[in-house]
Amino acid sequence: MIRTPLTRRFELGTPVIGAPMAGVSGGALAAAVSRAGGLGMVGVAGNHTAAFVAEQCAIPGRLPFGVGLMAWVLADRPDLLAATVAARPALVSVSFGDPGPYVGTLHDAGIAVAAQVNTVADVHRAVAADVDVLVAQGSEAGGHTGHRATLPLLQEVLTLTDRPVVAAGGIATGRGMAAVLAAGAAGVWVGTPLLACPEGLNSPAARARVRAAAGEDTVLTRAFDVAQRLAWPERWPGRALANEFSRTWHGREAELAHDDLASQRVVEARRSDDLEQAPLYAGESVGLVTEERSATDVVRMLTEDAERALRAVPDLLA
């Protein structure tokens, strides 16, 4: 059994957090992660309603779960924070912006707070805001992310705080999990390894595409956000599988901002699940995701393989 400050604080069987992934991780995926002893999280974005939050958070029942919110969305959507507090999760992450304005409300409700950090300035801001868990999210991650790689970022964050630091971005095997635990992380925050799980809200076609994709097939781009006229702050592009749309528009965002036809195409493609035009967010570890497996099995296997890898470490010492 792997014990860390994270497992102790949240009474987990394994230090694995199922990353919040808007459009993929609803209550069923979160519950499947928690069933394996991890902590599954429901991802909430600006296109969601308070009713969606209540509905999805009811699914895990007595299992522990978390909710992932976006700071830049909350500024205009206090209803999402209120619905989250009402659902009584064990952990709420407030990422992509200043968590400061929201920590007090969550702490007053007895809810622990996490924040994904991508820079040293983010770490200082999260610590000043009294965040309980910091998530060093490297740019290998799927979805929106910063510009620094997981391992150097993790090592630097660990020098800046004594609070539990969880590693995110590119961790998809027990060996990878063992590596960041040995480096000092209190746990892992995995998203891409869960993209082919049947409990996800994503479509079977999207899951099939994830299973077929290679690790070299991703692109870090703002093109999908610009096309959809989303107010995503510029410093967080999104890592997605490259497709016809990104091959046409990545690097031409200024032009795209004025092309209403291209914009319409992406909005329509999201509705019709046209994966050559719509974004399919996935990280660099996508090449390791080759089978459709329950999230419970993914977390169990990750944990068993990490235990095996950690047990082998003493053999390295002369």
Ligand X SMILES: Cc1cc2nc3c(=O)[nH]c(=O)nc-3n(C[C@H](O)[C@H](O)[C@H](O)COP(=O)(O)O)c2cc1C
238-241 β-sheet, strand order: 143-144, 238-241, 218-221
Cβ neighbours, 10 Å, residue 149:
14
Q: What is the nearest approach in angstroms of ligand X to the Cβ of residue 236?
A: 10
What single-letter amino acid sits at 111? I
Q: Which window, 53-61, 185-193, 252-260, 302-310, contacts ligand X (CB under 6 A)?
A: 185-193
How many Å apart are CA 98 and CA 119, to the nearest integer?
Answer: 13
Q: Does 206 bind ligand X (CB under 6 A)?
A: no
Cβ neighbours, 10 Å, residue 124:
13
Q: Does 139 bind ligand X (CB under 6 A)?
A: no
Residue (103 or 168) nearer to ligand X, CB: 168
Residue (259 or 287) nearer to ligand X, CB: 287
Residue (7 or 116) nearer to ligand X, CB: 116
Question: 74-93: which residues touch ligand X (CB under 6 A)?
Answer: 93
Q: Does 190 bind ligand X (CB under 6 A)?
A: yes
Q: Does 192 bind ligand X (CB under 6 A)?
A: yes
Q: Quick one: which of 191, 227, 302, 309 contacts ligand X (CB under 6 A)?
A: 191
How many Å apart are CA 255 and CA 243, to the nearest integer?
Answer: 18
How many Å apart are CA 214 and CA 234, to the nearest integer?
Answer: 27
Q: Does 303 bind ligand X (CB under 6 A)?
A: no
How many Å apart are CA 52 and CA 26, to the nearest integer?
Answer: 9
Question: 9-68: which residues touch ligand X (CB under 6 A)?
Answer: 19-22, 24, 43, 45, 68
Q: Does 123 bind ligand X (CB under 6 A)?
A: no
The tokens of 297 are what? Answer: 């099995």
Q: Which window, 57-65, 210-218, 256-264, 275-283, contacts ligand X (CB under 6 A)?
A: 275-283
The tokens of 298 are what? Answer: 């993914």
Residue (233 or 311) nearer to ligand X, CB: 233
CA distances (Å), 74 to each of 12, 77, 182, in order?
Answer: 28, 5, 35
Among candidate residues 175, 165, 243, the one with its CA nearest the CA of residue 209: 243
Q: Quick one: which of 153, 210, 283, 289 contacts ligand X (CB under 6 A)?
A: 283
Q: Does 142 bind ligand X (CB under 6 A)?
A: yes
Q: What is the nearest approach in angstroms of ligand X to the Cβ of residue 188?
A: 8
Q: Which window, 77-85, 98-106, 265-273, 280-288, contacts ligand X (CB under 6 A)?
A: 280-288
Q: Quick one: which of 98, 140, 199, 225 contacts ligand X (CB under 6 A)?
A: 140
- Residues in binding contact with ligand X, number by CB under 6 A: 28
The tokens of 290 are what? Answer: 């080759």
Q: Quick one: which of 14, 95, 296, 303 contacts ligand X (CB under 6 A)?
A: 95
What pairs with residue 66 in β-bridges?
A: 41, 91
Residue (50 or 261) nearer to ligand X, CB: 50
The tokens of 35 are what? Answer: 């069933």
Per DSSP (E only), the strands in the chain are 16-18, 39-43, 65-70, 91-95, 112-117, 133-137, 143-144, 165-168, 187-190, 218-221, 238-241
Residue (236 or 249) nearer to ligand X, CB: 236
How many Å apart are CA 45 and CA 58, to the nearest integer?
Answer: 18
Please give the residue whose beta carbon sits closest to ligand X in the complex: 191
- Would you tell me which residues interact with ligand X (CB under 6 A)? 19-22, 24, 43, 45, 68, 70, 93, 95, 116, 137, 140-143, 168-170, 189-192, 281-283, 285
